[in-house]
Structures are given as structure tokens and as C-alpha cells.
Amino acid sequence: MTEPARPASTHSARTGLHVAVLLGVAAATAGATALLVNIFERKAEERSPFIRVVQVDDDTTDPAVWGKNWPAQYDGYQRTALPTKTRFGGHGGNEAMPEEKIERDPWLKRMFLGYAFSIDYRDRRGHAHMLEDQEATQRLSKPQSGSCLHCHASVMPLYRKLGDGDAMKGFEASYKFSYKELNDKLHDAGQAHPVSCVDCHEPDTMALRVTRPGFIRGIQALAASDAAVPALHSIDQWREGKRDRPYDPNVDATRNEMRSYVCGQCHVEYYCSTKMPLTFPWGQGLKVEDIEAFWKATTFPDGHAFSDYTHKETGAPILKAQHPEFELWNQGIHARAGVSCADCHMPYMREGASKVSDHWVRSPLLNINRACQTCHRASEAEMAARVEVIQSRNSDLMQRSGQAIVALIDGIVEAKAQGATPEQLASAMDFQQKAQWRLDFIAAENSMGFHAPQEAARILGEAADYARQGQIAALTARSAGAAPTSAAPTSAAPTSAAP
């Protein structure tokens, strides 16, 4: 670390000493004693075990019950219902409904034509809203899968029920249900809660754990691959071992890794429909082209090549990216330096005399003092400015790539109007898939480039380049399609022209 921060306690102890000298020996003695008592009390309280007022177990999905034992964490958790807003984070719009991203950035809507995201795609907001926002989205006007609940509800008891006690089996069955069917079951069981304490904590010990089958499957496949994972040392360790059982995050991961894995249960790229089980696409690695390669190698159970949708205007098969925070973070300097999601999004805070993790999960920019200055010695304003520089550059590059995609789509549409055939447009459509995949990967990621600035810029650079190459391919196809005599007679010409 280039900016080792001075521990706050040393600092205040020194200040205390200065004051003491000024006030004289008697006062100094009294002051020092008070400080010692204070430190002793704090240490004692930090170590003191919590008092369990109520029992909680794997089926306790209601966070209010846990809140009786751990009121400070519950208090933070409840605040995730409050509105948050920064330049790029939190949400615009009003409290009834966050702002539509597809109206703010019309190129997004154009990219998604032919898919439910072109109907309704809004800013995210706090965890307390996740289930109601999913239930309210107009994307449900198209058939959706029960898999949607994996990341929007405290769904593990339902998986166990579906699988006769075996959560993994229940998970495997869940994709075949419609969203409505499974959502009804959740409500009927009285378990319609957003992500809850039980999803990240072992009820007996409160140790962190991951529960989500999609994540466990995905990270196992990642470990079994030979993709480089410079930020996830426990995977390298598992790879060097006997490999007689799959990598198990709950056994093999370090506590520090768990502080990011719990978020990686949901803040990731995925595929979710009634065609196949929910899939986290990490079998070839976590980088944008690793995931692209994974999807390109995937076929649906019916044998068709994988794609998320067919673009309405061009007919290109499209890969849609969803919020790859975990994947992008993995490519950045913070992950490499062992800085976890929780370090920035759930920093420690003092609650009375004890130290608790802030369960008001939100933008760290609303909390720079605790989220950044524990490690960075620069002022709050300077830290905000550094983020602003990164995000502005990323935003500019993203808008530029958005314009390039629009030009590409226009190009294909015009070429089609001029009579270019799908065969002639194959190359342009392939570029459209590549360009959209990259642009969407960064646009759907929620840090506006911050989690890995250089990687984000690299990806956006590629997006713009592929879009422009595709535009040229469309122009070429257009001249071919617009030839006075259409393609078939032209190619027949040499033989028939022979006397």
C-alpha cells in the first residue's frame, strides 16, 4: 500500500498526551487513567459475545427476528430502504420508481430491442427493495423463470422444500417453474423477504457463509479451470492440493475472501430462463472474453447455440451482460491488494463502544471517511475527486461506444433495406454481438468503471473498435446487396457469360 494510514487510536493517544502536558501532572494522571479504562472497556466489549435473546436457524428468513439479537446490524440493514444518490450511484427518479436507464441512455434501449430489457430497465436501489422491485418490473410481462428469485429473495428454505431437503436439488428444479408459480410458493410459505441475515451468516456462529447454489457451482467451475485468479488465493491453493473434492468456498476460502464471496452470490453476470438452470459463466475465467468464450461454447438442452436474444432490427444473436461487479472487481488493484467488497461497502463503525460492520450497504461515496480513509490518507475531497476522474472518463468512453453501436445498427438496417442478405451481413452481425457484449458488460456494471478502471477502459475501447469494424462490414454488405443485378445472377455470370 502506498498510503499506509496511521491507526486512529495512536493519533488520539498522542493528542491526549499533548493536552495532558499542558494541564499538568495531576490532570495527566487522571486523563491517562480515563483513557486506559476507556480502551479496556472497548476491548472487553469488542470481544464480548452477543446475547441471544431469540434462537435463529436456517429457516429464520425474517431479519426482524435476527434483529432482536443483533440490533445494530439490523438497524443498518433496515436503512437500505432509504433513498441514496450520487452522480452515478444509487438512483434517480422518485421513491415510487427509480429512473429508467433506457430513457436516460437511448442507445441502451436500441441495443436491447427484441428483449425485455428494452421495456423496463431502471436504476438499482437498496437491498430492502429487491423483492418488490422484481415483482413490479414490466420485464415480467414476458415469461420469466423461477430462477429470478435466486438473487432477490431469501429463497433457501424454498429450495430445500422443492428438493425434499436437498437445496441443490431444489435449485436444479426451480428454473422450470414460472416466476409467478415460484413467487406464489414463496409468499404462501411466509418467506417473502429480500436477502436476509441467514443468506450470509451461519446461524449458530454468525460466521460468514455462502448459500447460493449458482455461486457455489460457478466458483467450483472456476477453480476447476486453469484461468488465472490473482485475487483469489484459496483457489490457487486448492489447485495445488489433491483435488479429490470440488473447491468448497465455505471450507476453502479465507475469511477475507468471504467478505467478497457473500456479495458474489448475486452481483455477477448470469443466465436465467426456463430453458436451463441458472448459470454463473465462470468455467473459463472471470474476464470479459473468458465469459464470452464460455457462452459461445454453450448450447441449450435442445441443441441450439446459446444466445440471450435476437436483435429485433438486425437479427443478430446477442449476449446480454448483467451487473458483473464481482468479475470486474476481480480485475482491479483493490482485489489484488486484498480489499474486499465489505471493506468499502460495509465498513466498520463504532456503535457505542463496540465495532460493527455497517449493514447499510450503499455507495461508499456517501461514507468516504469510513470506507476509504481507513487506508488512504488523502482528504475526503481528494478521494472523491479521484473517483470522479475515473468515473467521468469511463462515462465519456461509454457514451462514445454507445454512439458507435448505434451507427453499427443503423448500418446493418440500411444494408438490409438495400437488399443485403443475412449471409452477406454475417460478419457485421458478429461484430454487433462482440461490441454489444463489451459495452453492456461495463454499462451494466454498477461502479461506472471504479472497480477496475483500466480494465473497464480496455473493454470500452474494444467495444468501440468492434462497432466501427462492424459498421464497415455493413457498408461492404450494403454495396454487395445494392449491386444493380442481385447477388445470385451476379455469381452465376461467369459461366453463363461464356460463349
Residues 366-405 within binding reach of ligand HEC (CB under 6 A): 371-372, 374-376, 383, 386-387
Quote the least distance from Cβ 243 to ligand HEC, whole Å: 26
Under the binding rule (CB under 6 A), the answer on residue 193 touching ligand HEC is no
Give the gyration radius of the chain's Cα atoms: 27
Quote the least distance from Cβ 469 to ligand HEC, whole Å: 28
Under the binding rule (CB under 6 A), the answer on residue 191 touching ligand HEC is no
Under the binding rule (CB under 6 A), the answer on residue 235 touching ligand HEC is no
Residue 201 pairs in a beta bridge with: 208
Q: For the stretch 190-202, what's the b/e string if a residue is b when 16 or more beta carbons lie within 10 angstroms of its beta carbon? A: ebbbbbbbbbbbe
Quote the least distance from Cβ 252 to ligand HEC, whole Å: 16
Quote the least distance from Cβ 344 to ligand HEC, whole Å: 3
**Residue 338 or 419 having the CB closest to ligand HEC:** 338
Distance from C-alpha of 34 to C-alpha of 20, rounded to nearest angstrom: 12
* Residues in contact with ligand HEC, shown as a per-residue x/- string from 266 to 305 under the rule CB under 6 A: xxx-x-x-----x---------------------------
Distance from C-alpha of 145 to C-alpha of 286, rounded to nearest angstrom: 25
Under the binding rule (CB under 6 A), the answer on residue 361 touching ligand HEC is yes
Window contacting ligand HEC (CB under 6 A); options: 128-136, 182-190, 241-249, 285-293 = 128-136
**Residue 272 or 477 having the CB closest to ligand HEC:** 272
Residue 100 pairs in a beta bridge with: 122
Under the binding rule (CB under 6 A), the answer on residue 209 touching ligand HEC is no
Distance from C-alpha of 431 to C-alpha of 172, rounded to nearest angstrom: 34
Distance from C-alpha of 366 to C-alpha of 457, rounded to nearest angstrom: 25
The gap from C-alpha 19 to its chain's centroid, in whole angstroms, comes to 48
Quote the least distance from Cβ 22 to ligand HEC, whole Å: 35
Closest CA to 233 of 259, 251, 247, 253: 253
**Residue 322 or 418 having the CB closest to ligand HEC:** 322
Quote the least distance from Cβ 354 to ligand HEC, whole Å: 8
Helix (H) / strand (E) containing 357:
strand 354-357
Q: Which residue is nearest to ligand HEC (CB)?
A: 89
Span 3-62, contacts to ligand HEC by CB under 6 A: none
Span 303-332, contacts to ligand HEC by CB under 6 A: 323, 325-326, 329, 332
Closest CA to 214 of 165, 266, 254: 266
List Cβ neighbours of 480 (8 Å cut-off, separation of 6 or more).
420, 424, 487
Q: How many residues line the site for ligand HEC (CB under 6 A)? A: 94
Distance from C-alpha of 344 to C-alpha of 212, rounded to nearest angstrom: 22
Give, to the nearest 10 degrees, the angle between helix 213-224 and helix 233-240: 60
* Residues in contact with ligand HEC, shown as a per-residue x/- string from 415 to 454 under the rule CB under 6 A: -----------------------------x-xxx-xx-x-
Among 79, 104, 109, 139, binds ligand HEC (CB under 6 A): 139
**Residue 371 or 412 having the CB closest to ligand HEC:** 371
Quote the least distance from Cβ 419 to ligand HEC, whole Å: 37
Under the binding rule (CB under 6 A), the answer on residue 343 touching ligand HEC is yes
φ/ψ of residue 90, rounded to 5: 60, -145
Strands (E) located in 145-290: none
Place of cell 434517480: 92
Quote the least distance from Cβ 220 to ligand HEC, whole Å: 16
Torsion sign (Cα): 179, 181, 184, 189: negative
* Residues in contact with ligand HEC, shown as a per-residue x/- string from 145 to 184 under the rule CB under 6 A: --xx-xxx--------------------------------
Under the binding rule (CB under 6 A), the answer on residue 127 touching ligand HEC is yes
Distance from C-alpha of 223 to C-alpha of 268, rounded to nearest angstrom: 16
